[in-house]
Structure 1
Amino acid sequence: MTKVKFLLPLLLIIAAAAWWFIPHYSDEDKAYYVAVFCAIDHQDEQQFIQQMQNVIEGGNSDYALQKIRFKPGLGRKVVGDWQQLTPDEQQRAAQDNLACQQLLTR
């Protein structure tokens, strides 16, 4: 019985800590990163993350009190979603910004 009293709170603490450390992104953040991704050049896959970071952090004014920081995990997720598209879908998305956003947010 004493094991249960000790083990249950320990498991709850471990579960709460695991949930805390898993990144959680808002729908607004996801939509913003998809929009940024759809606006960049899609010729060089090696540069996707760097281009996204340049656009997101490059939009900060020098005098801004709250500067937007690039979230690499969310950037990698959007690139991963892009890589899951078929070549035909990628071609269509690269040519049409709206189609790109629709394909990556489904």
Structure 2
Amino acid sequence: MAKVKIILPLLLILALAAWWFIPHDSEEDKAYYVAVFCAVDHQDSQTAEQQMRNVIEGGNSDYALQKIRYKSALGRRVISRWQALTPDEQQRARQDNSVCQQLLNR
């Protein structure tokens, strides 16, 4: 019985810590990152990520109290979705921004 009193709170604390560290990105954030990705030059994934960072963090005003930080994990997920597209889909996405957003938001 004494072990249960120790183990149960410990498991609850571990579960809470695991939940805390899992990224919780809103649908709005995901759509924003997709829109930014479709707007920048995404020929090379390394430069695309840097350009996304520049756009997202570059939009902060010097006097802003709450500055938007680039979420690299979310940026990499958008880039990996791009890389999972077929070459034909990538070509169509390069030609039309709305098609790009539709393909990456599925």
State the TM-score, normalizing by the size of structure 2.
0.91
Q: 3-state SS of the aligned residue for 2:7?
A: helix
2:62 corresponds to 1:62: yes
Paired with 1:93 and 1:74, the residues of 2 have a C-alpha distance of: 20
**Counterpart in 2 of 1:4?**
4
2:17 corresponds to 1:17: yes
In structure 1, stretches of 5+ residues that fail to align are none
> Percent of counterpart pairs with the same letter?
76
Paired with 1:11 and 1:68, the residues of 2 have a C-alpha distance of: 34
More displaced stretch, 57-66 vs 26-35: 57-66
The letter of the residue matching 1:84 is A
The letter of the residue matching 2:103 is L
Q: Deviations over 1:15-38 (max 9, x none)?
A: 110110111111111110010000
Q: Deviations over 1:13-71 (max 9, x none)?
A: 10110110111111111110010000001222221110100111112222323222111
**Runs in 1 of length 4+ with deviation above 3 angstroms?**
none
State the TM-score, normalizing by the size of structure 1.
0.91
What is the Cα-based RMSD across aligned positions, in Å?
Answer: 1.3
The letter of the residue matching 1:105 is N
**Counterpart in 1 of 2:30?**
30
**Counterpart in 1 of 2:45?**
45
In structure 2, stretches of 5+ residues that fail to align are none
Pairwise CA distance, 1:4:
2.1
